[in-house]
Structure 1
Amino acid sequence: SFRCENLRGAIMIFDKVKKFDIVFDSPEIDSPPVFSSGDVVSGKVVLELSAENKVESLKLHAEGFAKVHWTESRSAGSSTTYTQNYSDEVEYLNQREVLLQADNGELTTLPAGRHEYPFSFQLPEETLVTSFEGKHGSIRYWVKVKLHRPWCTVRKIKKEFTVIEPIDINTPSLLAPQAGTKEKIARAWYRNFGQVSITAKIDRKGYTPGEVIPVFAEFDNSTSRSVVPKACITQTQTFIARGTMKQKQSVVATLSGDVVGARRRETWHGRAIKIPPVGPSILQCRIIKVEYMLRVCVDVPGTSKLCLELPLVMGTIPLHPFGSRTSSVSSHYSLNMEWLRMAIPEQPEPPPEYSSIVTEEEAIQNSPAARQEEDLSGVLERSFMAYVQEFRFRPPPVYSEVDPNPQPFNMRPRCMTC
């Protein structure tokens, strides 16, 4: 015991490294840095020595992997069981960089004090996968630095950083409405209770965490029992290895409706279900997938529930303000057009006399002859809005009972109802 403690003390005395750390260039020091594909990851390696020390090399290794692993035990008889492991990985980043090493192979002598070695590398331009931690797998990115010194063990440090691959929900496929209908006959043993049907719709497929999904649904209960409509958002994690798939499903948000009595119908006019702070969808990784679903269900006592599933995609770029008002603008426009049709009289009144609006002096000033003599030398000196205002307040043309552009008799009149 005494010798072991002395040996530890000797190691502590001869280890001249006081601090060995990786510091990323991040605008927020307290929060970890976040990057996406094509970004430049930069920072510095901080090495602080208590005394002069000789160093062979200082090397940096940036890595990124998606890995899955799980174990399954199977029985091969009454007393025989065997265990089978399933694992796989996908490499997304593998880059090496030498921060300190003498060209001639000799040792580098560093004086006591603080030393900083900056580093910088660019993430691949091709699509990366968002960082993820799951039950049977993970997607991680990190920077690892090794310090090699003579007659010493290799000193290693490792620091992870987060990658979030952006998913823009302002795309036609993610802005498309999602709808569906499902029905079933409620049976228990030999008895038939009747039919239950669900019709549901949501405005779009893509959402971001924190948004509220308005659910439009209709529940038709033609059975002899009362049913309870519900809705929930589920997350499904899928892990794939060696041709075998492992899934983990969890409910992240729920919504309960009122009881629908026998032979009754219930309608949801945009019932709100809020998305909690969850991770984005992962759809482009070969071995790990994270998918979301909106499930609208009906619980029927005595039999299995009826569920309608509408797919969701959790994005990172929120809906553009104009896109969020597209449907409302179109609906208001249609209402205004209906109001306009009702407001137009069947026989429009003739316009007022020209002389009752425009005086004789204004008519002479606005005549073609007067406009030809107008001085245009200072046309560029006036503001554009002045011309707009002048155009807006021009007097109307001369009214005449005779059509100045008569229609030929041999021309077939156009049908207004076509």
Structure 2
Amino acid sequence: MGVRLKSFGIVLDGRDLSSYSSGELVSGQLLLETGVRLPVIQLRLEAKGCARVHWGGDGPATEATRHRDEVVYLQQRQVVRRAADDEGYFTLQPGKHKFPFSFHLPPGPLVTSFSGKYGSVKYWVTAILERPCGTSQVVTREFSVTSQIDVNAPYFLASVSKSIEKTIGCWLFTSGPISLSAKIERSGFCNGEAIPIYAEFENCSSRLIMPKAAIFQTQTYLENEKTKTFRQIIANVRGNHVASGSTESWNGKSLKIPPVNPSILDCSIIRVEYSLAVYVHIPGSKKLMLELPIVIGTIPYNGFGSRTSSISGHFGLDMSWLQLALPEQPEAPPNYADVVSEEDLARQFPSLPQADDLEHEFGSPIFAYIQEFRFQPPPVYSEVDPNPAFSEEVQHEVSFEI
């Protein structure tokens, strides 16, 4: 039997809890420890990522009814270290060893990591230690990938609304219709965000109804022409009972999105979609429900930026001419004395009496008069025009010709 390592593992550089995106660098170290001299043919690394679906019966009898499919998004191999001598192997001395590695994810779009009812999207790195004798030792480490979805894209900023109506009863024993209309101002949201719901519930039936709302996650798995679907509620909220002949309004009722997987819309065999369902629970009858499609993204909503861009796009404004009209460094305004002649300057600003002359004329320091003026009471309020002559004068000057 071959000698086993004391430890063998993979550590990713500073990204143990975070997620990667397409085109990013994945780097880390292979850590191993041995207690004896260990001959090694090569130490290599494999990186793989794929989407897989599988459902069907168990056992050989149901082999024909099983459905499996796979789409590969990442497939890379590299040799971390190999033998450089004629013997065909190198020797690891007793102790701990570190071997760095790195590789780039493909620049094209990658599907977000996901684990569902009948399939998954996973990415992982595998380290293989090959030895001259004995079986190779293998260790695997998963890592997460996120496909970025910007909820500020124009098609996620448009409002979505629907209406529906249902009459309770059958034949001649009808009790009146129940109508429901709902609206959301946009369809793109992120984890932790609250969805404001605007809805109107009108109950013209004879029953007591209960308005509710929920976020549904729909997982769809495809294999050739076969489809498997799994649907679940991830969050819900309820309103107040609506009595017969009454109405209920939701003016932005909040429904918070819990931590869930972002929408997956770019995979050929797995789709993860979300919808906001607004419905009415009717005792003794099937519920009345409408669904508004939503998308769970990764880049948060930026109201100011998206609103500005949408307005500019709507009106088709081109503001590039402003850059040509404005100088890089604004010039200082000219001095007033440079643009006005000395004669005009002397005529506009007559010489003012000095403070000593004013005090001599008033017989006391000028500061006393300033203080006296400052503390004078305000004029008495009156609705009578203090300048009636001026008003009449203006009225006489304005005339209309017909």
TM-score (norm 1): 0.71
Give 1:102's match in structure 2, choosing from 80, 83, 86. Answer: 83
Q: Is there any run of 5+ residues in structure 1 with no aligned partner, and where?
A: 1-10, 74-79, 330-364, 375-418
Structure 1 residues 196 and 371, CA gap change in structure 2 (3 angstroms): farther
Match of 1:19 in 2: 7
SS of aligned partner of 2:156: helix
Give 2:21's match in structure 1, choosing from 36, 39, 43. Answer: 36
Correspondence 1:61 to 2:32: no
Match of 2:55 in 1: 70
Give 1:237's match in structure 2, choosing from 206, 210, 219. Answer: 219
Cα pair 1:181 1:200 within 8 Å, conserved: yes
Q: Which amino acid aligns with 2:340?
A: A
Cα pair 2:264 2:272 within 8 Å, conserved: yes
Moved more, 35-44 or 213-222: 213-222
Structure 1 residues 255 and 369, CA gap change in structure 2 (3 angstroms): same
Correspondence 1:322 to 2:304: yes
Please state how far the C-alpha of 1:19 moved relative to its aligned partner. Answer: 1.6
Match of 1:193 in 2: 175
Please state how far the C-alpha of 1:228 moved relative to its aligned partner. Answer: 1.2
Give 2:340's match in structure 1, choosing from 348, 365, 369. Answer: 369
Correspondence 1:280 to 2:262: yes
Please state how far the C-alpha of 1:369 moved relative to its aligned partner. Answer: 3.4
Per-residue deviation, residues 106-160 of structure 1 (Å, max 9, x unmatched): 1112222222111110000000011001111010000001111112111010000
- How far apart, in 2, do the equivalents of 1:100 and 1:158 lie? 18
Match of 2:208 in 1: 226
The equivalences for 1:353-368 within 5 A come to none
Give 2:128's match in structure 1, choosing from 130, 146, 149. Answer: 146
Structure 1 residues 141 and 324, CA gap change in structure 2 (3 angstroms): same
Q: Which amino acid aligns with 1:303?
A: S
- How far apart, in 2, do the equivalents of 1:178 and 1:100 lie? 57
Per-residue deviation, residues 174-207 of structure 1 (Å, max 9, x unmatched): 1111111111222347632221111111121011
Please state how far the C-alpha of 1:324 moved relative to its aligned partner. Answer: 8.0
Per-residue deviation, residues 185-233 of structure 1 (Å, max 9, x unmatched): 2234763222111111112101111111111100121222221111111
SS of aligned partner of 1:163: coil
Please state how far the C-alpha of 1:249 moved relative to its aligned partner. Answer: 0.7
Q: Which amino acid aligns with 1:126?
A: G
Structure 1 residues 372 and 19, CA gap change in structure 2 (3 angstroms): farther
- How far apart, in 1, do the equivalents of 2:207 and 2:4 lie? 79
Per-residue deviation, residues 302-361 of structure 1 (Å, max 9, x unmatched): 2211111111100111112525887xx9xxxxxxxxxxxxxxxxxxxxxxxxxxxxxxxx
- How far apart, in 2, do the equivalents of 1:257 and 1:324 lie? 31
Per-residue deviation, residues 14-64 of structure 1 (Å, max 9, x unmatched): 62521211111116xxx4342110100001111222111111111110000
Cα pair 1:16 1:51 within 8 Å, conserved: no
- How far apart, in 1, do the equivalents of 2:32 and 2:181 lie? 64
Match of 1:342 in 2: none
Aligned length: 316
Q: Which amino acid aligns with 1:369?
A: V
- Sequence identity of aligned pairs in percent? 44
Correspondence 1:173 to 2:168: no
Per-residue deviation, residues 86-121 of structure 1 (Å, max 9, x unmatched): 111110000000111125661112222222111110
Q: Which amino acid aligns with 1:87?
A: R
Per-residue deviation, residues 247-286 of structure 1 (Å, max 9, x unmatched): 1111111111111111222111111111111111111111
Cα pair 2:83 2:90 within 8 Å, conserved: yes
The equivalences for 1:103-122 within 5 A come to 103=84, 106-122=88-104
CA RMSD of aligned residues (A): 2.6
Cα pair 1:215 1:269 within 8 Å, conserved: yes
Q: Which amino acid aligns with 2:76?
A: Q
Please state how far the C-alpha of 1:367 moved relative to its aligned partner. Answer: 11
Structure 1 residues 275 and 373, CA gap change in structure 2 (3 angstroms): farther
Correspondence 1:308 to 2:296: no
Cα pair 2:128 2:137 within 8 Å, conserved: yes
Match of 1:256 in 2: 238
- How far apart, in 1, do the equivalents of 2:288 and 2:100 lie? 59
Q: Is there any run of 5+ residues in structure 2 with no aligned partner, and where?
A: 312-335, 346-402
SS of aligned partner of 2:111: coil
Report which of the two structures shows the higher radius of gyration computed on alpha carbons.
2
Cα pair 2:56 2:62 within 8 Å, conserved: no
SS of aligned partner of 1:174: helix
Q: Which amino acid aligns with 2:3?
A: D
- How far apart, in 1, do the equivalents of 2:195 and 2:65 lie? 42
TM-score (norm 2): 0.73
Please state how far the C-alpha of 1:83 moved relative to its aligned partner. Answer: 6.0
- How far apart, in 2, do the equivalents of 1:92 and 1:59 lie? 20
Structure 1 residues 95 and 367, CA gap change in structure 2 (3 angstroms): closer
Correspondence 1:85 to 2:70: no
Cα pair 2:84 2:90 within 8 Å, conserved: no
